[in-house]
Amino acid sequence: MQTIYFLFVGALVLLHFIATISASISIANNHNNSASDLNALLAFKAAIFDPQRIIPTNWSTSTSVCSWIGITCNARHHRVAAIDLSYMGIAGTIPPQLGNLSFLVRLNVMNNSFHGHLPPELSRLHRLKHIELASNDFEGEFPSWLGALTALRYLSFWDNGFSGSLSGRLSNFTKLETIWLGHNFFTGNLSEEFSALPKLKFLEIQQNQLVGPLPRALFNLSSLQKIGFTNNSLSGYLPAHICDYLPQLQGIYLSWNYFEGEIPSGIGECSGLQVLSLSYNKFRGYIPKEFWNLTTLTEIYLGGYDLTGL
């Protein structure tokens, strides 16, 4: 009888022990993951200069990071899923620890005064879909490690100080829908890499220093709605049947470049075209008569060179 009793108590103790251990393991794991998010955001906080002192006071360790201003956590794991610090009048850098936010889907620091290079640790953010850095002072080359972010759908470096060659840098983003790289100092030729971007809708790389022709692959991206390369040093001829494979195209912005030859007659097949901006190039000859079939056009820019037929 006593032996049985001892066995029973022993079993209870053992069960309790197992339960306690597994509970503390799961708490430790959870704690560990949240702790890594907390560490990453504390490193970010330390790298931010906020003259209005919103972040220094709001990002307080006495509350969960999920209630911090600009931070959104995902409902299931309570992990940091989005950072939105846009239009906050803050300055600073992006610290390498941000690469530890393994559940991050959106990063938006638009319209602030962030500077410096993007740390390569960000290449670990495999869930990142949306990166919005527009209107800051970031610099450095278009990062080659960015190609590891294969989930990206939206990429904006608009109006920063990025430089260096863009050639071959865009080939891995098979899900990318929007590229905004305008108003930087990118150089180099565009390559046929665009054939790897089947989902691309908006391509805007105006006011950079790109040279050479537009890659033919560009005119095969059937999702494209907007092609914007205003004010680069691009040259060459536009394909005669420019819209054959671009049924969604709404805007062509190619003013202030060195394109030559005739304006392609195939323009008349761009049935959804609303904006055609080709001024200040080296086009010659006639305005194609097919042009007048484009009933959707709302804006046309053709000034700055010798054309007849208008």
Binding positions for ligand NAG, rule: CB under 6 A: 29, 32, 36, 39, 57-58, 60, 63, 67, 69, 96-97, 99-100, 111-113, 121, 135, 144, 147-148, 171-172, 189, 195, 207, 211-212, 216-217, 220, 231, 235, 245, 256, 268, 290, 293
Contact by Cβ (8 Å): 256, 282: no
Tell me whether residue 156 or residue 207 sits nearer to ligand NAG (CB atom): 207
Q: How far is the CB of 40 from ligand NAG (least distance, A)?
A: 6
Q: Which residues contact 243 (CB under 8 A, 6 or more apart)?
A: 249, 266, 267, 269, 270, 271, 273
SS3 of residue 163 by DSSP? strand
Rounded Cα–Cα distance for residues 299 and 310 (Å): 15
Question: If we measure between CA atoms, which residue out of 180, 259, 265, 176 comes closest to residue 221?
Answer: 176
Q: How far is the CB of 83 from ligand NAG (least distance, A)?
A: 14
Q: How far is the CB of 226 from ligand NAG (least distance, A)?
A: 18
Number of C-beta neighbours around residue 135 at 10 A? 18
Rounded Cα–Cα distance for residues 93 and 186 (Å): 21
Q: How far is the CB of 268 from ligand NAG (least distance, A)?
A: 4
Tell me whether residue 95 or residue 177 sits nearer to ligand NAG (CB atom): 95
Tell me whether residue 147 or residue 272 sits nearer to ligand NAG (CB atom): 147
Tell me whether residue 106 or residue 260 sits nearer to ligand NAG (CB atom): 260
Tell me whether residue 206 or residue 225 sits nearer to ligand NAG (CB atom): 206
Q: How far is the CB of 54 from ligand NAG (least distance, A)?
A: 8
Question: If we measure between CA atoms, which residue out of 173, 208, 172 comes closest to residue 187?
Answer: 208
Bridging pattern class, strands 251-253 and 275-277? parallel
- DSSP annotation of 280 reads S
Token pair listed for 210: 């790109």
Tell me whether residue 14 or residue 99 sits nearer to ligand NAG (CB atom): 99
Q: How far is the CB of 189 from ligand NAG (least distance, A)?
A: 4
Closest residue to ligand NAG: CB criterion:
147
